[in-house]
Amino acid sequence: MSYNGTPIMHAEPSVISQAATTSGQAGALERARRVAEKLRAGTRRIEDERALPPDLLEAMHEARLFRLLLPTSIGGDETDLLTFVQVTETIAAADASAAWCLGQGSGCSMTASFLKPDVAQRLFGPRNAVLAWGAGVQGTATAVDGGYRVSGQWSFASGSRHATMLGAHCKIVEANGQPRLNAAGKQADCTALFPRAKAKVRDVWDVMGLRGTGSDTYEVTDLVVPADETLDREGMDKVVVKSTLFRLPTTIIYAGGFGGVMLGIVRGTLSDLRAIAMTKTQRGASSSMRESQVFQSDLAKMEARFRAARALLHTTVSDVWTDMHAGRALTLDHRINVRLASTHAINEGVDIVAEAYRAAGSNAIFRQLPFEQRLRDAHSVSQQVQGRPTHYMTVGRHLLDLAPDTMMFL
């Protein structure tokens, strides 16, 4: 079976053993480096096919990259937050779309920690299990015997073309048509999980950058989903797996992961720029780029800005993990610090990539060189919710002892 010319990978019955996972956890970054070489060689195919080609997707599964944030009980790594960020950087330096799919799929996979163990094993146990979902609570889940009848449409489902499952964020309605209210008196919502084959998926992903994410739109109508395959992803008190990783909300996971994607794009761009400078002499210039004092200074400044943004994000997520691993509660300070570090990495990163693109001169405009794709990818990352400049205002309010203007992204 194929979708838009790309084979659909169905869940396989084989499950990775916990012993294999434990032995491989420390090597997650090394596994990512090996896969990155294949992705770098195939980045043009990812771009042109607007999806992860089957062989590259299989390489990522072979390296268990989509299992980084799954519970060890079902063959996951339960990787620490800093390692996860470093892995997304490593993959993004090779191909940003692959890294974006990894970041999104990893955040989605944390829903396994909310499910009963046998359900989590059934859905996420297969070695190629990937969950994708669209943005926002856009659907309705009407209560029926044993579960919910789900209808709705969701967009921006990154990785949906290689996903084995899709998720639907829905407002809950009782059988009599009345909204179900939560403890706060607001309408309750849930996320329903179901096989991708049960949804109607529409190819709408004709975009400037991150073209390989295949972030399509999907819909279902009156799809009955069993209650044990639904969850409240915001209800941290309902988490079944008790470990450091699953005490973290997905907002922090996405902030760290997508900040890492931008850092990887920047690292790759600066490496490419250095390679160009080693041999290029610009037309009319009296010296090569390598020997130009102006370029030497500009390159050093870009490198310093990159390292500063990277250090802030790495230090911040490491500090949060250390506190959580020690049993401390997640605080508003933790959330604010991660939001600041991620927003800064994304906004600083897109500026550095744009500056490096200009420094590369006419070489940058050719498709056979990576500059124009990295520029498009970086700008696309900056347009996603994680990169909103308004997050700086939220952080600034906190620094001035004012209540945050929103908690949605903290």
Give me the residue spans of the domains in the chain: 2-131, 134-233, 248-399
pLDDT at 394 over 60: yes
Q: Give the pLDDT confidence score for residue 165 in this predicted structure.
A: 98
pLDDT at 9 over 80: no
- What values do phi and psi take at 231, rounded to 5? -160, 160
pLDDT at 13 over 70: no
Query: Residue 165 has what DSSP assignment?
Result: E
303 alpha-carbon distance from chain centroid: 24
pLDDT at 4 over 90: no
Query: Residue 245 has what DSSP assignment?
Result: G
Query: At the top level of CATH, which class does the domain 134-233 belong to?
Result: mainly beta
Q: Give the pLDDT confidence score for residue 5 in this predicted structure.
A: 34
Quickly state the pLDDT bin for 21 (edges 50, 70, 90): very low
For domain 2-131, is the CATH number 3.30.930.10?
A: no
CA–CA separation, 275 vs 290, rounded Å? 10
Query: Residue 200 has what DSSP assignment?
Result: E
Q: DSSP states of 105-122 as a string? A: HHHHHGGGGGS-HHHHHH
List helix spans (H) across 133-195. Answer: none
Q: In the numeric block, which tokens belong to residue 277? A: 């400078």
Element (H or E) spanning 7, and its range? strand 6-7
Task: Residue 22: name the closest of 84, 76, 102 by CA.
Answer: 76
Whether the CB-CB separation of 331 and 248 falls below 8 Å is answered with no
Residue 118: is it exposed, middle or buried by C-beta count within 10 angstroms (0-12/13-18/19+)?
exposed
Question: Which CA distances in Å does 202 have to 129, 157, 224, 283?
Answer: 21, 11, 21, 47
Whether the CB-CB separation of 105 and 167 falls below 8 Å is answered with no
Please give the single-letter amino acid code of residue 258. Answer: F
Which whole number is the average pLDDT over 269-277? 94
pLDDT at 22 over 80: no
Q: Is 248-399 the same fold as 134-233? A: no
Query: pTM for this structure?
Result: 0.91
pLDDT digits (tens, 9 = 90+) for 171-202: 999 999 999 999 889 999 999 999 999 999 99
Which whole number is the average pLDDT over 236-262? 95
Sort strands 165-173 and 139-144 into parallel, antiparallel or unpaired: parallel
Sort strands 131-133 and 165-173 into parallel, antiparallel or unpaired: parallel
CATH architecture of the domain formed by 248-399: Up-down Bundle (1.20)
Which whole number is the average pLDDT over 9-17? 34
